[in-house]
A and B are shown apart, each in its own frame.
Chain A
């Protein structure tokens, strides 16, 4: 340790860039106890900061890597637009309102309305099912379960998030389909007068099945994020509610839920983003149709992403262009949804940090 103090007295974090290229500590004139390096500069000028050093190079490299994210997002937009334009120009129908999807014909005619409708409908079903369940689990993990139970259950939920979507798709098609078909038949028999559950079948490979599979897939995201915000509720506010004579549920309603609301909204939006963009699970569970129907239980349904996966292989150049155009729409929608969700989270974080 003998020769360190004299250097550490002079060097501070701020000086680092200045000394980096010449080796450390070389120029700090007075270093009497340093026997290895002869003092340079003879007590005179400090070494100049050089313009090109490893330090600047490393800094530039990491900055470029950080910027890469922005480059990729811009590049996605640019390349999708570039390849979608020719197909959109060749389109004889109206891209936004047309129901049909015939981009491979000699006179291509296609519109995104039907598939966009399917995407939205399946996502709504998924959220309707997943959000209450996810919030319940999050509350259970944060406020009900003893730690011995909360840790393994949280782990299981994380594992649920790790299962690939193609496996859920396969499971939905081979396993979940038959109970859903039974349920659909039942709904159709007793509630067939409601348009949602009408129709003459066949049932099963429906938007309901797709929505349920999606629900299972977005569940872990919403759960883990909501759990986090619920756990952040200040303990003293929970105690305040309890001291007023609140039951556990009343405490949650008074202190936990209002505090976590923005975070929960953001979590739901992230779940929505995932549901909107999910491809393979829907491609495997829906029986692709191009129409707008509110019937939830009859075979049918479609989504932007599933349509791309299904139709890509057989599409010609215009067909692929059309699919790319629909992908561009999907990209834009998910980008907006995600940006909104993240903006909420960021604002909340700032608010919390300022309050603390």
Chain B
């Protein structure tokens, strides 16, 4: 189910501004890959270009190729909504739909896809909420607003909403940066569990988190403000954090930079 992602020479632009410069990396199925680096280094931009979410901003475009199982998602005849269904995304701040209940939030994606049968929706809601380790906490109040949950619960609800449409890949853009340590731990546990089924790519500012959860780590950096971000080093997490091959990576890991 989970798929291999291959980026080759991906450059991303906002208008005339070049945000990232020829990034190449291969992400294996059923792994967790962490993207780290200082602010503004383009790691979020790269993440968003994997499911074409960066196109939401006017003037955004991309060069190079991004393939999922050898299918280039930037081919002109590719349906962008299909790409986003295949590659789900969890955002920095928990963003459940404020007007919907917990249940409606969990099945929002399925409803968008025209699933109307109550039994299917009920089953999917329970499964995705269980997968997101949230079911036991909310099963008695599924009809309450999703916005009424705690921050960590909201984020898990967003994860449930994302995996309910059964994507191949789950992208996470600093999913824990707005959460307290206990909620963060819950999300990290969840990531280990989801790894069995999905390819996960996570952007994080927290290096301990990257070291804890990921199999591979990519380090992004920029020369100075206004320059495009580059992928400096991409390797096994173990290696990046113990014996990086690049001086820049080492400086960043040991806290001498950024």
Q: Which of A146, A238, A240 has the most CB atoms of chain B within a 10 A radius of its CB?
A: A240
Contact (Cβ within 8 A) B100 A239: no
Q: Is A159's beta carbon under 8 Å from chain B?
A: no
A146 & B58 in contact (Cβ 8 Å cutoff): yes
- Asked if B112 and A236 sit within 8 Å, CB to CB, the answer is no
A237 touches B95 (CB 8 A): yes
Once the chains bind, are A239 and B56 in contact (CB under 8 Å)? yes
Does B149 interact with chain A (Cβ within 8 Å)?
no
Binds B, one of A33-41, A93-101, A250-258: A250-258
- Is the interface on chain A under 10, 10 to 19, 20 to 34, or 35 or more residues? 20 to 34
For A240, A242, A245, A254, the residue with the greatest tally of chain B CB atoms inside 10 Å of its CB is A245
B112 touches A246 (CB 8 A): yes
Q: Hey, what's the 0/1 contact readout for B127-149 against A, CB within 8 Å counting as 1? A: 00000000000000000000100
Q: List CB contacts (< 8 Å) of A246-288 with chain B.
A: 246-247, 250, 254-255, 258-259, 261
Q: Which of B139-166 contact A (CB under 8 A)?
A: 147, 158, 161-162, 165
Which A residues from 154 to 205 make CB contacts under 8 A with B?
none
Give Cα A92 to B89, complex, Å. Answer: 73
- B51 in the interface (beta carbon within 8 A): yes
A240 and B53 in contact, given A247-B81, A355-B98 (Cβ under 8 angstroms): no
**Given A250-B112, A254-B97, A254-B108, A245 and B56 contact (CB-CB distance below 8 Å):** no
Contacts A254-B108, A254-B112, A355-B147 given: A243-B84 contact, CB under 8 Å? yes
Which residues of the other chain, A, contact B86 by a CB distance below 8 angstroms? 245
Known: A146-B58, A258-B99, A259-B98. A244 touches B109 (CB 8 A): yes
A317, B180: Cα distance in complex, Å: 75
Is the C-beta of B61 less than 8 angstroms from some C-beta in chain A? no
**Closest residue of B by beta carbon distance from A250:** B112
Q: How far is the CA of A258 from the CA of B101 in the complex (A)?
A: 12
* Residues in B neighbouring A240, C-beta threshold 8 A: 91, 95-97, 158, 161
> How many B residues, CB 8 Å from partner?
29
Closest residue of chain B to A251, judged by CB? B112
State the CA gap A254–B161 with chains docked (Å).
13
Return the CB mask of B16-33 against A: 1 if under 8 Å, else 0. 000000000000000000
Is residue A132 contacting chain B, with contact meaning CB distance below 8 A?
A: no
Give the distance in Å from the alpha carbon of A295 to the alpha carbon of B213 in the complex.
72
Judge whether A243 and B98 touch: CB under 8 Å.
no
Whether the Cβ atoms of B93 and A236 lie closer than 8 Å is yes
Q: Which residue of B lies closest to A244 (CB)?
A: B109
Question: Which chain B residue has the least Cβ–Cβ distance from A261?
Answer: B99
Is B113 located at the chain interface by the 8 A CB criterion? yes
Q: Does A5 contact B (CB under 8 A)?
A: no
Contact A244–B162 (Cβ < 8 Å) = yes
B229 proximal to A (CB < 8 A):
no
Across the interface, which residues of B come within 8 angstroms of A238, CB to CB? Answer: 56
A57 at interface by CB-CB < 8 Å: no
Cα separation A239 to B99 with both chains bound (whole Å): 15
Report how far A258 CA is from B85 CA in the complex, Å: 22
- Which of B82, B86, B97, B161 counts the most A-chain CB atoms under 10 A from its CB? B97
Which residues B46-94 have CB closer than 8 A to chain A? 51, 53, 56, 58, 81-86, 88-89, 91, 93
B99 — nearest CB in chain A belongs to which residue? Answer: A258
- 7 A-B contact pairs sorted by A residue (CB < 8 Å): A241-B112, A242-B56, A244-B108, A244-B109, A245-B84, A247-B81, A355-B147
Residues of chain A touching chain B, judged by Cβ–Cβ distance below 8 Å, are 146, 234, 236-247, 250, 254-255, 258-259, 261, 355
